[in-house]
């Protein structure tokens, strides 16, 4: 599949993307995960991105496009990809359209995860993420907890709250989403690409998306 997952912070993009990879072996590409690895490794990109991320703002489009232009040409993308957290601004959508055209890749769908704000706020304050850069498994202390000692069920490393999970950063991320990312829903709706997904049940969400892909 070649799918974009749209949705506010905490809508479940990362969780759903990981589940969708089991469907046909498509890879999850999360710009957030890629940036967090770069920040932890202290690479030049990571050094530039850290302050934007910690404050809940967006990393400049030029940095993101440089990352994604290279990533989409890696061999594991040939089977398909699930874009999680990208594109996030109208310029990124326009540049992605041009890039996919150049690479002769056709998108199948833009799945828009619709989740009420109160659910989002609850999820973001109860999320835990594996601290191992090559794992980054997502947990929730209420709905899907890690091991009792706080370690990851997959790799055994400690789970943590992300640096952008302070109340101030969460509120800023939601504002930035409304201003910069929500307009992408209309952008892709005009292209007839959008499938709204309103269920809050993970099994139903995955079924909604995969059934729509099979049509
Ligand atoms: P990124 O990592 O993409 O963060 P985000 O978009 O804010 O999204 P989140 O990862 O917070 O949430 P999610 O929708 O993936 O939800 P999750 O599955 O974890 O980006 C981080 C930062 O990087 C940005 O702020 C920006 O600075 C920068 N960045 C990244 N991409 C960029 C770009 N393209 N351009 C510019 N800057 C960029 O779920 C949340 C919680 O809910 C979890 O605990 C999960 O277990 C739980 N949960 C999820 N779904 C369900 C469900 N259905 N039922 C019960 N619990 C659920």
Span 81-131, pLDDT tens digits: 999 999 999 999 999 999 999 999 999 999 999 999 999 999 999 999 999
**Ligand 1 atom closest to the CA of 200, numbered from 1:** 53
Alpha helices in 25-89 (DSSP H): 31-41, 44-55, 61-71
Atom 57 of ligand 1: nearest residue by CA position: 12
Give distance in angstroms: CA of 123 to centre of ligand 1.
10
Beta-carbon count within 10 A of 8 CB: 21
Average pLDDT (197-209) is: 97
Q: Residue 67 and residue 31: Cα distance in Å, rounded?
A: 8
Atom 12 of ligand 1: nearest residue by CA position: 10
Of 38, 35, 37, 33, the closest CA to residue 21 belongs to: 33
13 catalytic, yes or no?
yes
Give distance in angstroms: CA of 57 to centre of ligand 1.
13
Atom 42 of ligand 1: nearest residue by CA position: 123
Percent of residues in the chain assigned helix, strand, coil, to nearest 5: 50, 15, 35
88 catalytic, yes or no?
yes
Average pLDDT, the chain: 95
Question: For the chain, which residues make up each domain, given as ranges?
Answer: 2-26+79-214
Beta-carbon count within 10 A of 6 CB: 27
Span 134-187, pLDDT tens digits: 999 999 999 999 999 999 999 999 999 988 888 889 999 999 999 999 999 999
Give distance in angstroms: CA of 182 to centre of ligand 1.
14
CB of 146 sitting under 6 A from ligand 1: no
CATH of the structural domain 2-26+79-214, one choice from 3.40.50.300, 3.40.190.10, 3.50.50.60, 3.40.250.10: 3.40.50.300
């Amino acid at each position: 599949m070649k799918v974009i997952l749209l949705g506010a912070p905490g809508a479940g993009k990362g969780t759903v993307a990981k589940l969708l990879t089991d469907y046909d072996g498509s890879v999850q590409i999360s710009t957030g995960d890629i940036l967090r690895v770069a920040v932890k490794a202290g690479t030049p990109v990571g050094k530039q991105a850290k302050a934007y991320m910690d404050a809940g703002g967006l990393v400049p489009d030029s940095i993101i496009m440089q990352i994604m232009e290279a990533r989409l040409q890696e061999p594991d993308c040939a089977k398909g990809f699930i874009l999680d957290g990208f594109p996030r601004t109208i310029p990124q959508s326009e540049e992605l359209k041009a890039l996919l055209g150049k690479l002769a890749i056709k998108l199948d769908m833009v799945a828009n995860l619709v989740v009420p704000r109160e659910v989002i706020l609850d999820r973001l304050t109860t999320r835990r993420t594996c601290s191992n850069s090559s794992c980054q498994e997502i947990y929730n202390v209420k709905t899907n907890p890690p091991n009792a000692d706080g370690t990851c069920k997959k790799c055994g490393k400690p789970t943590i709250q992300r640096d952008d999970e302070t109340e101030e950063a969460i509120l800023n991320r939601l504002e930035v989403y409304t201003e910069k990312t929500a307009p992408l829903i209309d952008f892709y709706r005009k292209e007839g690409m959008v499938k709204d997904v309103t269920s809050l049940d993970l099994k139903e969400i995955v079924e909604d998306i995969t059934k729509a892909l099979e049509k």
